Amino acid sequence: ETGVTQTPRHLVMGMTNKKSLKCEQHLGHNAMYWYKQSAKKPLELMFVYNFKEQTENNSVPSRFSPECPNSSHLFLHLHTLQPEDSALYLCASSQDRVLSTDTQYFGPGTRLTVL
């Protein structure tokens, strides 16, 4: 256990559904991240929050909407997704992304399937 939890672990949804992914970290970190991992591709950074403020949006389609109510919780709201959005969605946290030695710790991920 890394101290980063994600729910649900598996999610199947239709293209018209709305769902949310939740991430919680118990490490006292200040930065949280959403990554997408598709088969045969490197990890893709989606969003970064530092001290609850969004500092990075890597040209992610608007059908993905992040929310960070506090430094310990991060959500990813999903609506009108496409089948190509099926992937493993990983949450990570780190102490402070300004530090050059900043280390990211990953949650277990949510395996998302869009039908």
Partner 1 sequence: QKEVEQNSGPLSVPEGAIASLNCTYSDRGSQSFFWYRQYSGKSPELIMSIYSNGDKEDGRFTAQLNKASQYVSLLIRDSQPSDSATYLCAVNDPNTGKLIFGQGTTLQVKP
Q: By the criterion CB under 8 A, which residues form the site for partner 1?
A: 2, 40-43, 45, 48, 56, 88, 90, 97-98, 100-109, 111
The secondary structure element, H or E, covering residue 13 is: strand 10-13
Nearer to partner 1, 32 or 48 (CB): 48
Which is nearer to partner 1, 13 or 88 (by Cβ)?
88
Backbone dihedral region of 97: left (phi > 0), alpha (psi from -120 to 50 degrees) or beta? alpha
Closest contact distance (angstroms) between CB of 29 and partner 1 is 14
CB of 16 to partner 1, least distance (A): 28
Residue 101: CB minimum distance to partner 1, A: 6
Structural tokens at position 59? 């040209």
Q: How far apart are CB 74 and partner 1 at their closest, in Å?
A: 15
Direct distance between the N- and C-terminal alpha carbons of the chain, in angstroms, rounded to an integer:
31
Kindly report the number of other CB atoms within 10 A of residue 61's CB atom: 11
